[in-house]
């Protein structure tokens, strides 16, 4: 049997008992991170309440999760937060927000919850992954996005920090990233082999150079078209999990989907994931039994042209989170252990009906 098939079979056998043991005691903490200063579009700070209002908590409860809603964190804007290098915007504000979020993520993981963070923009991944790494130093990252978000403060053309978080987290780039105001607390916590990108289709030249130079695995939409999403997930798990089990951090930008499905977002790029591809990714991650933390970011209710587009985007966000935590397309409710049997009274009634 080929190695890949052997690996997939072994992984499923190894994690099936883990999943069965955990599924009845899944405790999920939901953190709202209403933050927008990592990019230029107002409204992404309204993402957390919009996702909750789309029925997130009820949906998670219906699939057997014990849900603890932390509520929305408060992020202060630092006064006189000047540009770094005449380019990078709101560095102190973004750095402080990510530090607050990192502390909260670490706290809820320490308490035994799976951590779900609702963004807010993708600069927040600096906080969520740093907080996760503080609790689980051996984590790996699956980054689902149209963009690589791996520019450095010296290569960014926009200056928006939502396009830079991975560069601060990656050990290989430590000597390429300057110390900027508000970021002194951050320590690189992942290596190039610890992250896989899925869904890329809009890279800056510097980002493409970084991905190739440091041999960072990514699956563009072209590669997904060529080999299919099943092979993408198999190869991702081979690299990240190998023959060991370790926590997975899923960082999911809603713009990974095609804009026809998720229009209410700040940087849509045509040609993205289909609904089936996106949900397959999350279902397979859940099936490993290794998901420890999840970000769902860049939902911006202000950018939907119609109420329908906003509703479609928020509903899609709920589906992504729910399928990451156990919802299947076969059944959306919690599992049952056995079928009910007729009571003595019901059996007596049946006898009378026959007579």
- Decide: 48 and 298 in contact? Cβ < 8 Å: no
- pLDDT for position 5: 43
Token pair 């110390």: residue:
179
User: Where are the chain's structural domains?
Assistant: 3-354
- Of the residues 45, 81, 104, 145, only one is catalytic, namely 145
Among 113, 122, 132, 286, the active-site one is: 122
Annotation says 309 is catalytic: no
Q: DSSP string spanning 273-312?
A: B-HHHHHHHHHHHHHHT-EEEEEEE---GGG-SSHHHHHH
Residue carrying the six token digits 């026809």? 260
Q: Is 215 annotated as a binding residue?
A: no
Q: Which of 45, 81, 121, 149 is catalytic?
A: 149
72 is in an annotated binding site: no
Using DSSP, state whether 177 is helix, strand or coil: coil
According to DSSP, the residues that pair with 142 across neighbouring strands are 196, 250
Residue by residue, what is the 3-state secondary structure of 322-351? HHHCCCCCCCCCCCCCCCCCCCHHHHHHHH
Catalytic residue among 81, 298, 309, 319: 298
Assess whether 113 carries a catalytic annotation: no
Burial of 204 (0-12, 13-18, 19+ CB in 10 A): middle
The verdict on whether 255 is a catalytic residue reads yes
- The catalytically annotated residue of 113, 162, 249, 286 is 162
Q: pTM above 0.85?
A: yes
pLDDT of residue 343: 81
Q: According to the annotation, is 134 in a ligand binding site?
A: no
Backbone dihedral region of 177: left (phi > 0), alpha (psi from -120 to 50 degrees) or beta? beta
145 annotated binding-site participant: yes
Give me the pLDDT at residue 157, please.
96
Say whether 175 is catalytic: no
122 appears as a binding residue in the annotation = yes
Q: What is the spatial distance between Cα 55 and Cα 58, in angstroms, rounded to a whole number?
A: 5
Q: HSE of 153 in the Cβ direction (CA atoms, 13 Å)? A: 22
What does the pLDDT look like over 49-95, one tens digit per residue? 999 999 999 999 999 999 999 999 999 999 999 999 999 999 999 99
Q: Which residues of 270-288 are buried (b: 16+ CB within 10 A; e: fewer)?
A: eebbeeebbbbbbbbbbbb
Q: Is 204 a catalytic residue?
A: no
Which CATH topology does 3-354 take?
3.40.800
Q: Residues 328, 336: contact at Cβ < 8 Å? A: no
Q: What is the pLDDT of residue 6?
A: 42
Annotated binding-site residue? 253:
yes
Can you list the residues of the chain whose pLDDT is less than 50? 1-24
The reply to whether 162 belongs to the active site is: yes
Catalytic residue among 253, 258, 277, 295: 253
State yes or no: is 69 an active-site residue.
Answer: no
| Active-site hit among 255, 258, 284, 309 | 255
pLDDT for 14 equals: 42
Cβ-contact 168, 122 below 8 angstroms: no
Instruction: Determine whether 135 is an active site residue.
Output: no
Residue 259 tokens read as 């804009």
User: pLDDT tens for residues 242-292?
Assistant: 978 999 999 999 999 999 999 999 999 999 999 999 999 999 999 999 999
- Tokens 């909750």 map to which residue? 52
Distance of alpha carbon 164 from alpha carbon 123, whole angstroms:
7
Tokens coding 142: 């699956």
In sequence order, what DSSP letters do the residues of 44-105 get, joined into one string?
GGGHHHHHHHTTHHHHHHHTT-EEEEEEE---PPPTT-PPBTTTB-SHHHHHHHHHHHHHHH
């Amino acid at each position: 049997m080929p190695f890949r098939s052997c690996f997939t079979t072994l992984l499923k056998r190894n994690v099936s008992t883990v999943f069965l043991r955990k599924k009845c005691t899944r405790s999920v903490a939901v953190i709202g991170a209403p933050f927008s200063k990592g990019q230029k579009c107002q409204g992404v700070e309204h993402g957390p309440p919009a996702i909750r209002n789309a029925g997130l908590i009820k949906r998670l409860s219906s699939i057997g999760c014990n849900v603890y809603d932390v509520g929305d964190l408060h992020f202060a804007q630092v006064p006189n937060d000047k540009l770094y290098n005449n380019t990078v915007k709101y560095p102190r504000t973004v750095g402080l927000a990510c530090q607050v979020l990192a502390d909260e993520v670490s706290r809820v993981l320490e308490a035994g919850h799976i951590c779900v963070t609702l963004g807010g923009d993708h600069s927040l991944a600096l906080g969520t992954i740093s907080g996760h790494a503080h609790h689980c130093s051996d984590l790996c990252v699956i980054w689902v996005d149209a963009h690589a978000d791996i520019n450095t403060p010296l290569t960014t053309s926009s200056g928006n920090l939502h396009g830079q978080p991975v560069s601060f987290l990656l050990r290989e780039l430590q000597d390429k990233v300057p110390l900027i105001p508000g970021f002194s607390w951050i320590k690189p916590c992942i290596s190039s082999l610890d992250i896989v990108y899925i869904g890329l289709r809009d890279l800056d030249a510097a980002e493409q150079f970084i991905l190739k130079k440091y041999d960072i695995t990514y699956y563009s939409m072209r590669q997904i078209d060529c080999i299919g999403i099943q092979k993408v997930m198999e190869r991702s798990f081979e690299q990240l999990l190998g023959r060991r089990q370790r926590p997975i951090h899923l960082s999911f930008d809603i713009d990974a989907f095609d804009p026809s499905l998720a229009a209410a977002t700040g940087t849509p790029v045509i040609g993205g994931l289909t609904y089936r591809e996106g949900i397959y990714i999350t279902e397979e991650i859940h099936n490993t039994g290794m998901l420890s933390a999840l970000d769902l970011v860049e939902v911006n209710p202000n950018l939907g042209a119609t109420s329908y587009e906003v509703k479609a985007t928020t509903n899609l966000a709920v589906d992504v989170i729910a399928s990451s935590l156990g919802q299947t397309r076969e059944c959306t409710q919690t599992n049952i252990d056995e079928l009910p049997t007729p009571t003595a009274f019901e059996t007596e009634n049946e006898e009378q009906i026959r007579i």
